[in-house]
Chains A and B, each alone.
Chain A
């Protein structure tokens, strides 16, 4: 045994050998390291301390520089750490400090070792223990070692004292009750004459202040004294940080410190201090005009400096002040814009942020122009950064900075053409969003979209496909604004569209459908005008014949056509029932006028273009392009392509063969065809709009509708239901009344949103079968969609005053909320309840956490007036601590015994923790260490109790000096502040 240990000692590789070894292994470093770790695993088990410690040292080297796992050595580290010899102790502590965390089980074993070392007479051992505590201290360690740290706070050795002060921060954080013990002594150190001590204390208060400044307001006089007296820049920086926090809470304090801070700014040579002064003034003293002006002058100096660090910090300082004093930014505008082309990405980013903060209604166009130009020139990453910030700035608060939406539409179009553009998703979102929200922008937007669609080059860039999808949707949805639908159709069907994803292609196909219907409809109207056949009368006839006809047609078509026709059923039937209800009879008339007005707009656009020839041409193009797609593997595409083809089959013959058939025949066929077209057109021209995400919640559940009813028994009924939906509605819906209206509008509009959503075909199928029971689920569907139909919230209104709103709904040319352009230049942006308009980001309420509660306790508890901001809990605590004070001043042993009892709430915690201890102790015992563990535990508890005594005594001491302190402090604050 002894022999092997000598051999190990003599032949063990020490750290130097290891390092040399690693350096020689150029190629197989990882192999070498894993070998070394194997070796360490063996060596570390040695009973020989030198061998063990050398192994541990190697391991901590590998762990810190090569990321080796050293958790297996935790226990060995504890062993080495408890060696009496400093050399080994240091190695052990180093390993523990580096590798332990809250989850390390053996952390429970080091409490006593730490306590022993904290009480050591060797100051370096104390320092090791303090460092270790500052790094790995958990709740238990912090609680158990608080008395030791407290003692060290008044150590006569500066070296120990400063470390103890730094450790206090960690102890407070983990165990807030330590504040009661240590705080007074910490505060006393604020008056220390040792600069090192002072800087340590201020460092602690600086960190504490960042978390909860309010608690430390009473200490302002001490901080002020340091601010005025100190010459140490690093110390001053920390004090300034503290004042930056305190000044925002107490205006009188701000008034007091502003002058000394300005003095620093004028005089100091140190840039770090200067910058801290600038930052303090700009962030917390921005009401003091002269100070801000001085700070801005200094910022200017930073900006023109050659040092990129100062440049960057100058820009950062500007962005601090931007919200309050925009002039400071505008004054340096030229510089900010110049920084956009700086070589440093950080500086560019900072200046971009600044530019964005300058954006307002008046300059958004100008700034965007500048930025787009930069985006064109810069590298892809920054380019997208620019585009991203333009997009996010412009859409802020529902596009509040945008006045000219036509311009914005063209800007979006321009962005797409920037070669590096990868913001597809965002642009897609905004194109659809403004199309739906802003009525007036639609013509311009359709034009922009058309330009995007007809450019075959854009199809080659996968990043833009989502934008193209939005463009296709917009062009289809608002085809009436298109200047040349035929051209649009060609764009939508161009061969390169096969580069698109299936989901986007499906949107294209749907848009084709819309455009086609629009063209045919316009053509028919055009023709009607010529032959002056009035179809309006016919349209209001009961359309049974149409359905009959359609179902005949359908039987000829592929089976997949069925859902489409059923959709048509869905969308049209309710309307007819509306008529039968009578209360909605206006709608039909409204529809007629709508289609007429649409026709007139389109006719004015292209009266001459809708000729027989062009329509034939259109049909040919569609059939040619969509033919192959009807066999597509993607169900979405296949389905929609077949819908379109089915429609063309249905209409084509009747429209295009007039000459062959007789006059009467012609008239009948045309009217039937035109009726179908008209109905389709009505369906598509129904207004879509954005819906707030909370719209769903506002739809009341009608009386008598049991949403949670078990629907299992319906299977039998629904299985064989082939009746058209309408009949089931008309049978059952009378008692439900208005609720059915909602469902109807839902159904209708659901069909229309189809192009912008996936796989509604299955839904449609399902709805056809179970339409009767569809109300609830349909609604949830609507709520989850991004762009669900606008009719939903409106249907709410409908409940209030149906007639009027229905009129509005149907009369699309008269937008319900639209105001005339002349009165207000900015078009109306549709707003919803659900839209969150972000007011300047709210500051999170400073939570009175445990720590601050205790701190306030200690600082203010003596006044007896709990501060209003304190939570109930901390008030409780303060009450208790007051009780404790009284007891302590008695100084009788008995009352001190009571002290632990007084702290019930804390002890509930500690006891639970202690039970954890115990369970660990048990484990140990099972491993064969006998009663040792238990005894230790007992010891620990005894000590704990002792330490409580200890604490009590200290407190008593404190209290003794306290009255003078209190008297000195409490009146001072108001005096000082005034």
Chain B
């Protein structure tokens, strides 16, 4: 299974973290520090796998972002690379040629998309179309809720409560 997903920029800034195994906040910071130290220093033409504390970390760089996933020893590294690519493609489709800034300002969207692709550390949806459809549906749901909440009448209703 996938234990966690990290998105780290080339400068070492964290853009997204998602933990499927229990890690305390302290451990999380330590993991991020360790791995960004290992991965960011690796040259461009090396293999995309790093052995780390008995696990394997599969990473791939897209533009200025490193997508990293930590998996068990038995897992298939190439499959994970494909999953990373799958995720990137969906992000790309959703944002329309995604860039780092999209993820910075819409970090929760990136989360929600990831939540539709992975669950409990397993791949749950291999169809890009389906994911796009699900995200769109949830977006509209959110929008209506938001509109309701921020409508003038609602604010007035709250204020006069």
Chain A interfacial positions (CB closer than 8 Å to B): 2-3, 5-6, 9, 15-16, 19, 23, 48-50, 57, 61, 63-67, 69, 71, 85-88, 90, 94, 98, 101-102, 124, 130-131, 134-135, 159, 162-163, 166-167, 169-170, 195-196, 199-200, 203-204, 207, 210, 232-234, 237, 241, 271-272, 275-276, 279, 308-309, 311-313, 343-347, 349
Contact (A86, B141) CB under 8 Å given A167-B120, A272-B79: yes
Contact of B160 among A2, A49, A233, A308 (CB under 8 A): A2
Give B residues with C-beta under 8 Å from A. Answer: 1, 13-20, 22, 24-25, 28-29, 32, 43, 45-51, 72, 74, 76-79, 81-83, 104-105, 107-108, 111-112, 115, 119-120, 122-127, 130, 134, 137-138, 141-142, 145-146, 148-150, 155, 158-161
For the complex, give the distance between the alpha carbons of A15 and B123 in Å: 29
Does the CB pair A163–B119 fall under 8 Å? yes
Report the minimum CB–CB distance from A54 to chain B (whole Å): 11
Complex partner residue of B76 from A3, A49, A71, A276, CB under 8 angstroms: A276
Q: How far is the CA of A918 from the CA of B52 in the complex (A)?
A: 42
A-B contact pairs, 9 of them (CB 8 A): A65-B14, A86-B141, A90-B112, A101-B22, A199-B124, A200-B122, A309-B47, A309-B48, A309-B78
A102-B22, A207-B1 as given contacts; A61 in contact with B142, CB under 8 Å: no
Residues of A within 8 Å of B82, CB to CB, are 234, 272
- Considering the chains assembled together, what is the distance between the CA atoms of A135 and B134 in angstroms? 20
Chain B positions within 8 Å of A271 at CB level: 78
Hey, which chain B residues are within 8 Å of A343, CB to CB? 43, 45-46
Q: A135, B47: Cβ atoms under 8 Å?
A: no
Q: Is the CB of A101 within 8 A of B47?
A: no
- Min C-beta distance of A461 to chain B, whole Å: 27
Is the Cβ of B81 less than 8 Å from the Cβ of A309? yes
B155 to A6, Cβ gap below 8 A? yes
A762: min CB distance to chain B, Å: 43
Q: Please tell me which one of the listed residues B15, B111, B124 contacts residue A163 in the complex, with CB atoms under 8 A apart.
A: B124
Majority SS of interface residues in chain A?
helix
Q: How many Å from the CB of B14 to the closest CB on chain A?
A: 5
Do A69 and B25 form a contact, CB below 8 Å, given A94-B108, A199-B123, A309-B47?
A: yes
Determine if A5 and B159 form an interchain contact, defined as CB atoms under 8 angstroms apart. Answer: yes
Question: In the complex the two chains form, is A124's CB within 8 Å of B16's CB?
Answer: no
How many angstroms from the CA of A61 to the CA of B79 in the assembled complex?
A: 29
CB neighbours of B107 from chain A (8 A): 19, 61, 64-65
A166 and B122: CB pair below 8 A? yes
Cβ contact within 8 Å between A6 and B159: yes
Q: Name B150's closest neighbour in chain A (CB-CB).
A: A50
A135 to chain B, nearest CB (A): 7
Q: How far is it, in angstroms, between the C-alpha of A349 and the C-alpha of B120 when the chains are bound? A: 32
| A234 pairs with B141, CB closer than 8 A | no
Smallest CB-CB A-B distances: 6 pairs: A272-B78, A87-B145, A308-B47, A134-B120, A344-B46, A203-B122
B47 close to A311 (CB less than 8 A): yes
B16 and A65 form a contact (CB under 8 A) = yes
Interface centre among A203, A210, A349 (most CB of B within 10 A): A203
Kindly list 20 other residue pairs between chains A and B, CB separation below 8 angstroms, not including A6-B155, A87-B145, A309-B77: A2-B159, A6-B159, A16-B105, A19-B105, A64-B17, A65-B107, A86-B141, A86-B145, A94-B111, A124-B137, A135-B120, A166-B122, A167-B119, A195-B126, A200-B124, A210-B74, A271-B78, A275-B77, A309-B81, A312-B47
**Given the complex, which residues of B lie within 8 Å of A207, measured CB to CB?**
1, 122
* Chain A: CB-nearest residue to B48: A309
Minimum CB–CB distance from A371 to chain B (whole Å) comes to 20
CA distance A582 to B103 in the complex (A): 92
Structural contact, B141 and A313, CB atoms closer than 8 A: no
Q: How far is the CA of A134 from the CA of B126 in the complex (A)?
A: 19
Name the one of B46, B149, B159 contacting A50, with C-beta atoms under 8 angstroms.
Answer: B149
Contact with B17, one of A6, A65, A237, A272 (Cβ below 8 angstroms): A65
Q: Chain B: which residue is nearest A2 at the CB level?
A: B159
Task: Chain A residues near B29: list those with CB within 8 A.
Answer: 67
Q: Is the CB of B119 within 8 A of A131?
A: yes
Q: Which of B112, B122, B137, B146 has the most CB of A within 10 A?
A: B122
How far, in angstroms, from A98 to B45 measured CA to CA in the complex? 35
CA A66 – CA B25 in complex, angstroms? 10
Q: Which residue of the partner chain B has the closest CB to A67?
A: B29
| Residues B14 and A234 in contact, CB atoms below 8 Å apart | no
- CB of B120 within 8 A of CB of A63, answer no
A199 contact set on B, CB distance < 8 A = 123-124, 126
Give the distance in Å from the alpha carbon of A276 to the alpha carbon of B138 in the complex. Answer: 36
With both chains docked as a complex, state the minimum distance between the C-beta of A48 and any C-beta of chain B, in angstroms. 7
Partner of A64, one of B16, B50, B79, B125: B16
The complex places the Cα of A130 from the Cα of B137 at a distance, in Å, of 18
Closest CB-CB distance, A915 to chain B, in whole Å? 25
User: Closest residue of chain A to B20, judged by CB?
Assistant: A135
Tell me the minimal C-beta distance from B93 to chain A in angstroms. 19
Structural contact, A234 and B149, CB atoms closer than 8 A: no
Give chain A nearest CB distance to B81 CB in angstroms: 7
Q: Given A50-B149, A131-B119, answer yes or no on A5-B158 (Cβ-Cβ < 8 Å).
A: yes
B134→A159 contact, CB < 8 A: yes
The residue from B50, B120, B134 contacting A166, defined by CB atoms under 8 A apart:
B120
Of B14, B46, B47, B138, which contacts A124 at CB under 8 A?
B138
Tell me the complex Cα distance, A9–B157, Å: 14
Do B159 and A3 touch across chains, with their CB atoms under 8 A apart? Answer: yes
The docked-state distance in angstroms from the alpha carbon of A130 to that of B14 is 27
Closest chain A residue to B51 by CB distance?
A346
Contact of A87 with B25 in the complex, beta carbons under 8 Å: no
Q: A65-B16, A124-B137, A346-B46 are in contact. Are A87 and B149 (CB under 8 A)?
A: yes
Nearest-CB residue, chain B, relative to A68:
B25
Which residues in B have their C-beta under 8 angstroms from that of A159?
134
Smallest CB separation, B121 vs chain A (Å): 8
Decide if A87 touches B119 in the complex (CB within 8 Å).
Answer: no
Smallest CB gap from A244: residue in B? B74
A67 to B29, CA, bound (A): 6
A379 to chain B, nearest CB (A): 13
Q: Which residues of B contact A312 (CB under 8 A)?
A: 47, 49
Residues on A with beta carbons closer than 8 Å to the beta carbon of B49: 309, 312, 346
Bound CA–CA A904/B108 (angstroms) = 45
Please, which residues of chain B bring their CB within 8 A of the CB of A241? 74, 76
Which residues of B sit under 8 angstroms from A345, Cβ to Cβ? 46
Q: A9-B155, A346-B47 are in contact. Are A170 and B120 (CB under 8 A)?
A: yes
Q: Smallest distance from the beta carbon of B126 to chain A beta carbons, Å?
A: 6
Bound: A346/B51 CA distance, A = 8
Among B14, B77, B79, the most chain A Cβ lie within 10 Å of the Cβ of B79
Q: With A63-B25, A159-B134 as known contacts, state yes or no: A275 contacts B122, CB within 8 Å.
A: no
Q: Hey, which chain B residues are within 8 Å of A346, CB to CB?
A: 46-47, 49-51
Interface contact A85-B149, CB-CB below 8 Å: yes
Contact of B158 among A48, A57, A134 (CB under 8 A): A48
Within the complex, the shortest CB–CB distance from B110 to chain A, in Å, comes to 11
Do residues A162 and B125 form an inter-chain contact, with CB atoms below 8 A?
yes
Q: List the B residue with the shortest CB-CB distance to A20.
A: B105
Residues of B within 8 A of A276 (CB): 76, 79
A234's contact among B18, B32, B79, B104, by CB below 8 Å, is which?
Answer: B79
Compute how far the CA of A304 lies from the CA of B149 in the bound complex, rounded to whole angstroms.
61
CB neighbours (8 Å) of B104 from chain A are: 19, 23
B142 near A90 (CB under 8 angstroms)? yes
Bound-complex Cα distance A99 to B158 (A): 30
Complex: chain B residue closest to A196, CB-CB: B125
A64 to B16, CA, bound (A): 7
Q: Are A196 and B124 in contact (CB under 8 A)?
A: yes
A232 touches B17 (CB 8 A): no
B residues in contact with A86, CB < 8 Å = 138, 141-142, 145
* A195 nearest CB neighbor, chain B only: B126
Query: In whole Å, how far is A764's beta carbon from the nearest beta carbon of chain B?
Result: 47
A210 to B76, CA, bound (A): 13
List residues of chain B with CB within 8 A of the CB of A57. 108
B120's partner among A5, A64, A169, A279 (CB-CB below 8 A) is: A169
Docked Cα-Cα span, A241 to B122, in Å, equals 14
Residues of A within 8 A of B134 (CB): 159
